[in-house]
Amino acid sequence: MRVFLIAVALLTSTTAIAAEEEVHAPNQDWSFEGPFGVFDRASLQRGYQVYREVCAACHSMDYMYFRMLGQEGGPFHDEDYPNPNDNPVIKALSAEFQIEDGPDDLGDMFMRPGQTSDRFPAPYPNDNAARAANGGAHPPDLSVIVKARGGGADYLDALLTGYEEAPEGEEPPRAGLYYNEYFAGHWIAMPPQLTEGRVTYEDGTEATPEQMAEDVTTFLAWASEPHMETRKRMGFGVIIFLIILSGLTFLAYKEVWRDVEH
């Protein structure tokens, strides 16, 4: 019994210490939050640019296909092209990447420009190569990262801008780590990525670290739930239908039972 009580006490104290060390990400005002929230298309397009020019060098998005960028609700959706595979913008974006294909008639693999039906290419051929290139750390896949992390978009935005000098006297557990206020344990293998002017936005928006973090977080939030806007519209329609149905049911009830004493 004494051993059990000691174990409980140690667990409780460890949890309390962890809670004290945890820093919660500040709440941000995202356009896609709430029952009527929608994604900011301009921010989605800028966010894709940040992913392509910064994040894609290390992070995969295995669940994403280029055609999804042009589907309804996507960053480059065009009503003139209901089929994203016909969208010239999506064709151009996918062709910017080289995709391994094959085998050919001789049994060899070859490289070709990307097509709208292709997945986003992974930066490394396998997990071991990814770890070898990143000091033993494996860069997580970003397909559903906003849903996979506690705090969602707020956490990711804070993480990308949360790098700072370590408190005096605090040293990293090993070389090659960086202090980040919002990362669990505070030491992260990924160096700061969103430095001033790292990206030149095609729409002329000033590419501050805060702006880039907001935009790429918006894009990754969309990637985590690309049908969110459709789901919300459908849900709203269902609620309206149920309200009307409830009213009609009540009126029918009153009509059927009007001459019956209750």
**What is the domain count for the chain?**
1
Q: Give 170-193 pLDDT, tens digit per residue.
A: 899 888 899 999 998 999 999 999
What pLDDT is stored for residue 227 in this prediction?
A: 93
Q: Phi first, then psi: what are they for 7, rounded to 5°?
A: -65, -40
The answer to the question of residue 1 being in a domain is no
The answer to the question of residue 167 being in a domain is yes
Q: Name the one residue in this structure whose structure tokens are 């906003």.
A: 146
CB burial readout 210-224, b (16+ within 10 A) else e: ebbbbbbbbbbbbbb
The answer to the question of residue 241 being in a domain is yes
| Predicted confidence band of residue 21 (pLDDT cuts 50, 70, 90) | low
Q: Tell me, what CATH number does 149's domain have? A: 1.10.760.10
| Per-residue pLDDT at 73 exceeds 50 | yes
What pLDDT is stored for residue 114 in this prediction?
A: 95
The answer to the question of residue 103 being in a domain is no
The pLDDT of 193-214, averaged and rounded, is 94
List the domain range (segments joined by +) for residue 231: 19-27+137-249
The answer to the question of residue 74 being in a domain is no
pTM of the predicted structure, to 2 decimals: 0.85
The answer to the question of residue 224 being in a domain is yes
What pLDDT is stored for residue 255 in this prediction?
A: 82
The answer to the question of residue 210 being in a domain is yes
| Per-residue pLDDT at 10 exceeds 60 | no
The answer to the question of residue 243 being in a domain is yes
